[in-house]
Structures are given as C-alpha cells and as structure tokens.
Amino acid sequence: MSLRHTGKIGFDADPACIRSGGNSGYQAVHVAAQAGAARILLCGFDMGGAHWHDAPAPAAHLFATWIERFETLADALRGQVEILNCTPGSALKCFPMATLESIQ
C-alpha cells in the first residue's frame, strides 16, 4: 500500500494520505496521529545535527525548514493528540518537553 502525498505541511486526516514534512520523523508522527494515538513521545528529534545516522549531517537550513514544518503539524494536532518531545537538548520547541522518566 502507498499513501498519497498531499503536501509537506500540516495534517491530512485521510488515512490514505500523508503530509511529508520532508523527513521520516514528521511522517511517523503523522501516521501515528491518523492511527488514533492519544499520546506520541518524540525520542531522537534533536533537530540540530549532532548525530545523523552514519552519514554527514544535513545542512543547517534543512533543520530550520523541518522545525517550521513541524510547527504546522503541532498546530493541526493541538487538542487532538498529546505530543511530548522527550529529546534532551532538542531544537524542536513546538511540542512540550518531557523526560521518559516523567511519563506515566
């Protein structure tokens, strides 16, 4: 099955569609929200380039773009899904910060 791409920003409630955000983390949050997740915990969303798999980190402008796109997803899902950023030192500030230890 493939999902129809309907843009890079915001949220599409149609489970046959996806907004990409330009990165797989955005897509994972999008799909989890479509699937009915009540809470989503973000781990490894530093958005600062300290670690990027085993490849060179993307240019800084990509992180800034991704952060802006995540802000549109946060706005679209506010009040529908609790999304907590559990990434210490994350540059992604559009979701409340938490620690995994504080989650109940």
Q: pLDDT value at position 50?
A: 57
Quote the CA–CA distance of 46 and 25 in Å, as a whole number: 11
Rounded distance, CA 46 to CA 79, Å?
24
**pLDDT tens digits in sequence order for the chain, 104 residues long:** 799 999 999 999 999 999 999 999 999 999 999 999 999 999 999 998 655 555 566 677 888 999 999 999 999 999 999 999 999 999 999 999 999 999 98
Tokens of 7: 């843009």
- CB of 29 closer than 8 Å to CB of 19: no
Beta bridge partners of 39: 82
